[in-house]
Amino acid sequence: MMMSTPVPPTPVQQQTEPMNRLDDPAASGSDTDRVLVREFGRYQLQRILGRGGYGVVYEAFDPVLNRSVALKMPQPQRLFSPETRERFLREARMAGQLDHPNIVPIYEVNEIGPVCYIASALCLGPDLTRWMLQQPHPVSAIVGASLILTVARGLNHAHSRGIIHCDLKPSNILLQPMSDSGRYPQDHLTTGSWVQLTLDGEVGAVLPRIADFGLAQLIHPANDLPVVPTPFQAGTPQYSAPECLRADTLAAHPGMDIFSLGVMLVELTTGKRPFANTDELLRGTPPQIEAAATTAPLPADFIRICERCLAFRADQRYPTVTELMTDLECFLTGNPLPRQRNARLQRGLRTIRRIARPTLGGILIGSLMMLGIVHGIRKLAPDPPPEPTEQTKADASAQSEATRLSEYRQLASQTRLANEFVRSGRWQPAREMLSGLQESVGPLAVQSLSWRWLWNDLHAFRQTLTAEGSLYTASYHPNEPILACAGSAGIVWLWRIPQGEILHILPTVGSEINELSFTPDGKRLIAITDHSTIVVWNVPQFTAPVTIPCRLGKLFSLVIAPDSRSVTIMDNHGIRQTWDLEQQRLISETVHPFAKRPWIRHDRQGEWEITVRSDAIRFERIVGVAREREVQLNEYVSTVAIDPAGEQAIIATLSGGLYRLQLNDSTPLELLTRGLSRICSLCYSPDGRYLLSGHDDSRITYWNARSMERIRELLGHQRRIWHLRFRPDGHEWISLSDDGTVQQWPYLETLGVLESPIPQPAGTPVVGAFAFTPDSQRLLSWNRDNQLQLWDCASRELIGTSSKEGAPPLIRLGMLPNRSTAISIHADGSLRSWKLPVHRPLLGPATLISQPCGQLPPSPEMPNDPPKTLLVVSSNCLLVGSESGRCRVLTQRGNSWEVDAEFPVLMDLSQSTIDAPNGRVWVTTRDGKLESWSVNPPRLEESIPISESPVRLCRVNPKHQSLAWSSDQLPGTLHLGRLREWNRSLPIKAHRGPIRQIAFSADGQECLSVGSDQRLYIWQTESGQLLRWHCEYRGVESIAVAPNGGMVAVQHHPFNFPQIPSMISLFPTHHPAQQLRSGHSAP
């Protein structure tokens, strides 16, 4: 028997082998599980993503460009079909002309042997068909319109290039999650091309993308050439326009794709296609859209949009996708659709034009027709609107509420996404997204606490300017909005600020630039280098520089004379030279007594000259009375800063120490702190209130310059901070880093930090030791010295303070509605009344004086029952709760507060809510009920069983019917909802430990929570979405929202250091820095 010799595979077989192996029925697993070993060209095929009638799509990896792609090839049985090759070439030609985030981009089209292929972007999300099958019920009209609107944006881009898709259907719409920022450009994130959908059980941003242009047709909308009929192949019949099914040759037009969008829009919102079969479509049977809705009635405007998309005749549909987008946007924003012109009037006008003749009979007939038309128009004029009925008013109110909730959901989802951008460092897209929200939802955005808080934080970090190499030095022009920076690359970068526009990139000087500065008159820019040269550019030409060789070592120090005519430099050997800039000649040369790489600095006023060696500092007063002082250290000095008043110097060492030295007396050196990471730069604010420090680990810390307490930490760079500098007008400052970036920040005052610490008697932080006045313009706080202080919220200045003696330890503060009287309750049960100044004092803080105004009598049954809570119900009614749960009603009689009644049950008032207009208080009981009580006399009005276990915390916003609570059974879970729909509250796992405090925003739409993990979160009340979390202050203990919603006060421990007293930080929900920028131009 003869043995058969194996035949070697042909080149064609070698190229098609990977495809045949994937299609092998013996292969194990499903299509998506089959893994290839072979390569196809330079691509490594991995698995099948999907199949169609003509081709198959693989997930492949391109090792050359190091990215995953989608590789589309013909089915093996269609490899040699001319029709298939033509379709592939047409798809590549059409899609290759398009560049839009809602269209899958084409990377490459090529062929290997007989196999042609298309490489495109990989979209790992499901297609629209699969996504609809995963939904338990059809989506709402709002979601469906939002999704189709994003698809329409991509389709409009294709139509503007003269390309009609001709095969739009759900399987050709790919839903790409936007969680991976590497899969899409950042500049596409703010164009309105994404939509909020639920994928894999989680709500997130999704980018719909149009794929498969294999049946696309080309038209010529731009050059007015006639459209020549070409062989036309209809797409999927269920989504094709009727004219596509009736003709074999047809000129493509936009109405075909608009019809397909209408079919998908109806299918998304009803779960059914508008036509049961193609017979209904060809007969022109009107779609029954309203009858197909199974979950909720569809809005009338939405049905009108669908009916116009699905019109039987193409001329009755939307003429362009742009008009469809306009109607969808009107529907989503709650605006009425543009009205159509009266068709009967149009027909009448056409009739007049047809029959009018230049004869007497024609004129007579025309006049009669005109009279008839006028009479007809009068009859067609709408009747006066009838008086609205109760039902009409209720429907209008429901529609308005639905529109408001829709806008707020849009605001919440986009604010949440903007917050994710901020946390990942994508500042510019977040700014643009919030700006777009301000335009789309208007006042709703400005009223949102989370939006305004995020807006404030975003503008605290303005922008990043990128250069090359490490940046060591920077200088502001004294008269023009110009910033110069330089460093290790030897290149000088010049930007226009605050826009960040590059003005010049001055060529390299051949070595590192250690320092540069503009002269005081602004006519020159001077730099010193490692090659012992002084480089001088003329401003503003910045032409070829003048180079002055110094013949020294490396130059590290540069001081320019106030008259801008001379410059003093020092090298690393302690040799100091002074040069005349006009004549470029050496004036003097001295050897400094310090050696081993000293450097010299002048203070801000030019009064002191500081010379620093590694372990010693010499201060020399060069203006006024001559004076010298030298300080020896046992540590290496890193950097030094002198305050603007010239009174003290702050010295940082390499070992992480921070020292303070008084310059006007012989006070010894004072150690402030140790254990810091290395400080590379120090800088005072122009007013001397704050001190900035830049660290080796990329942190920027700012300090209270008077008390030298750390206030806040800023993060922005990736590597060490080499330089910090304020703009001359003080409205901005910059940070330079080893990563080659410059970051612009506003003045620290706009971050709104008060300087008053909160006391901690007996080691326990006081919760409630601050309160806003009723007009939200001032804040009361109780400091560690047992003093009451009054702050102005706008200027952050202290405008009133009490004496240090006389008041027992504080329990709570409260404000009466009259704006000028505060009430405090103390540990001994005494009450004090504080008279506050109505107007701001002209000469320093006013003295706040208290008067005893009452004493809580002890209970015979419980003599040791101290007060715990103080609530202000009205100007003449207070509630005081004790540790045991007793609740007493106090009324004012003359100048004294006296106990008038006592609640019959025990209750915890620490988490209660006052409903002042109705004279009620909302409290929780130990059996899980929420109760509403009239205050005087105490009477139970309503009881709601919100929990089966005891309620730990509860907050109610009576005006807006918002409810938030937490139980003992689930102490870290926050329940959010409506007061009258408490049984539908959303449980949210909010904090890792028990929740310690809950507060609502002024409009009740956002809830703030603080947990034992000492983090502050902001939630949307309606949906329970996390909108914002505050990460700079992890030691959050207590929060309070101003009555008008414009401020948030936060009591916290800076940096979680227990040894530092807790502080109050005041965060404005508007942005003062924006007002500064609009009111003051750059110098």
Q: Residues within the annotated binding site for ATP?
A: 72
Angle, alpha carbons 111-112-117 (nearest 5°): 40
Burial of 369 (0-12, 13-18, 19+ CB in 10 A): middle
Residue ranges with strand state E in 84-182: 106-112, 115-121, 163-164, 173-177
Q: Which residue has the tokens 């409205």?
A: 731
* C-alpha closest to that of 1054 among 1035, 1072, 1067, 1069: 1035
> Which residue do the tokens 């929570």 mark?
1009
CB-based contact 725:683 (threshold 8 Å)? yes
Of 708, 680, 695, the residue nearest 1054 (C-alpha): 708
* DSSP one-letter code for 858: P
Length of the chain: 1083
Strands, E, within 894-991: which ranges?
896-902, 913-915, 920-924, 929-934, 939-945, 951-957, 962-967, 973-978, 986-989
Question: Tokens at residue 571, please?
Answer: 């090298």
Angle at 330 between CA 327 and CA 331, to 5 degrees: 90
Residue closest to 754 by CA, chosen among 692, 786, 796, 783:
796
Which DSSP state fits 385? P
Residue with tokens 């089209």: 109
DSSP of 501-524, one letter per residue?
EEEEEEPP-SS-EEEEEE-TTSSE
Q: Is the dihedral of CA 385, 389, 391, 395 positive or negative?
A: positive
Give Rg (Cα) of the chain: 37
Provide the β-strand partners of residue 231.
Answer: 249
- CA 965, CA 975: separation in Å to the nearest integer? 5
In which residue are the tokens 């949440």 written?
416
Asked if the peptide bond before residue 498 counts as cis, ω within 30 degrees of 0, the response is yes
The two three-digit tokens of residue 467, written as one number: 């250069």
| Residue 879: C-alpha distances to residues 723, 892, 904, 916, 944 (Å) | 55, 12, 14, 12, 22
DSSP output for 715-774: E--SS-EEEEEE-TTSSEEEEEETTSEEEEEE-GGGG-EEEEEPP-GGG-PPTT-EEE-T
- Binding residue ranges: 72
Q: Is 804 left (phi over 0), alpha (psi -120 to 50) or beta?
A: alpha
Phi, psi for 616 (deg, rounded to 5): -155, 155
